[in-house]
A and B are shown apart, each in its own frame.
Chain A
Amino acid sequence: MIEVKDIKKRFGRKQVLRGASFTAEKGEITCLIGVNGVGKTTILNAIMALTPINSGEILIDGKKLTKDTFEKITFIPDAITMLPQMRIADAMEFMRDYYKSWNQKRADDMLGFFKLKKEDRISDLSKGNTAKVNLLLGLALDVDYVLMDEPFSGIDIFSREQIAEVFTSHLIEDRGVIITTHEIHDIEHLIDKVVLLDEGVILREFNVEEVRETEGKSVVDVMREVFHS
């Protein structure tokens, strides 16, 4: 389980996170929803220790992050984190070199699924294909948790469908996923849990299925209720 406990973060005079707390379970897809600039990416960065937090605590399976945690959790940012001059094959080799959890077979499977060519240079890829490579590099790691920052932003409809398909496949199964988005439509049917964020605080945290059954509301209904109140 990933536990985010009362984290606060300030950038200069701007207080981005004002004591945000939520949890994300293994085997569930947790979606962080909020408009741009409410601190979604900052939370993911904080979980990965890519930005220092001013206060609060983040635990992964009950422990604070260490270098070994990076074999258990991976982050797929909204831009690819590989050198543009690398070929897809080089990027995969880089990952294989450094991560014990790298699963080459799974990487090859995904390469086929996304119809990507190993010898293509990252800088020559379309936006959609760059996003797919980015996803591949993260998901081919045998890790327990995957964080994804806006995996659907700015890419074409067919790539979005393909990426959404990944969520229903064995690639995601059994893992704990935290995904941020401000467009819920692509994945509404896939997610287990929603965390609504506004101005650095969690407005509501709920189980999608539960709310659907007990209150008869969809994610968008709840969002409308929370954000418009």
Chain B
Amino acid sequence: MKYLKLVNFEINRFFKLYMVLVGMVIVSQIAGVIVESRSFIKEANMTIRELGLTYTSYAEDYGSLSLGSIMRSGWFVLPIALCIAGLSFYVFFIWYRDWFGKNTFVYRLLMLPTARLNIYFAKATTIFISVLGLVGLQLLLLPIENKLFRSLVPVDLRHDAPMSELFTFFDGLGIIIPAHLSTFIIHYGIGFMIVFIIFTAILFERSYRLKGIVFGGLYCVIALGIFLLPFIIVIYQEKMYLYPNEMFG
């Protein structure tokens, strides 16, 4: 119960910053679809007028526009990169904000009549919910953007792709929104594991300061070593015990 209260509390603390990220993704991607579509049509219309072409012949000679190509533009890539950067920063900030400044709020958290592990899990849950929230937002936005794209660009000038294909247009999106559930679990499993490792390293540092940085660093190296063990075994034994898919993780 107190764990859920803490999750709610942590989410509220991150909410404003998170909404900035959400807003930025929505505005930039929708604007991207509109701006890129309009400029493509404008250019196409000019050429068509100059050379007396039809939409179909223009598309044949100069190529059509796909949502995929817009997705590879900065309009899409930049907000996603900023979200990744923002959340990565928050993985650290979610802890350090409680120690820094005049108010050492961490004292209050550590003195709550609840298991201290709940604080750790509440902070981790906040990160996970935020990440999955942004992925969900992207999944919701894509069909909307697709509809918008179709309404803006005439059928002869565009290349329509099914939704599943859209994800493969842009490599990064394939990692963020994989085509298979198993890959999704593996990608996010690794991501969340890394968050746990970083959290633990941060707590080493916070508990033992300078010595803690060494402990934390060692802990990260050991954890990473265990994760990479399948690869290390392959390199040293030149034998494959696992399928590549299982190893990729």
Contacts and interface: CB of A to CB of B under 8 A. Distances in A.
A14 interface: no
The range of chain A's interface size is: 20 to 34
B244 interface: no
Contact of A98 (B5, B103, B207, B210): B5
Interface residues of B, number: 20
Interface in A67-95: 67-71, 74-75, 77, 79-84, 94
Contacts of B243: none
Contacts of A94: 9
B179 to A, nearest CB: 42
Interface string A22-54: 000000000000000000000000001110100
A80 B108 CA distance: 9
Contacts, number: 55
A67 B113 CA distance: 5
Given A97-B5, A98-B2, A98-B5, A48 B111 contact: yes
Interface string A155-195: 00000000000000000000000000000000000000000
B17 interface: no
Nearest to B5: A97
Given A52-B207, A98-B2, A98-B5, A82 B115 contact: no
Chain B CB count within 10 A is highest, among A77, A83, A84, for A83
A66 to B, nearest CB: 9
B112 interface: yes
A99 B113 CA distance: 7
A30 to B, nearest CB: 20
Contacts of A48: 110-111
A150 to B, nearest CB: 14
A100 interface: yes
Contacts of A74: 111
B113 A100 contact: yes
B44 to A, nearest CB: 52
A50 B107 contact: yes
Given A52-B207, A79-B102, A98-B2, A67 B107 contact: no
Contacts of A122: 103
A207 to B, nearest CB: 30
A50 B111 contact: yes
Interface in B88-116: 101-105, 107-108, 110-116
Contacts of A98: 2, 5, 112-114
A227 B124 CA distance: 49
A77 B115 contact: no
A98 B110 CA distance: 12
B107 A81 contact: yes
B115 A67 contact: yes
A223 to B, nearest CB: 29
Contacts of B105: 81-83
Contacts of B115: 67
A72 to B, nearest CB: 9
Interface of B: 2, 5, 9, 13, 101-105, 107-108, 110-116, 207, 210
8 contacts: A48-B110, A67-B112, A70-B112, A71-B113, A81-B107, A84-B101, A94-B9, A97-B5
Given A75-B107, A84-B102, 10 more contacts: A48-B111, A49-B110, A52-B207, A67-B113, A67-B115, A70-B112, A74-B111, A79-B102, A79-B103, A98-B114
What are the 4 tightest A-B residue pairs by CB atom distance, in nearest-first order? A81-B108, A70-B113, A81-B107, A71-B113
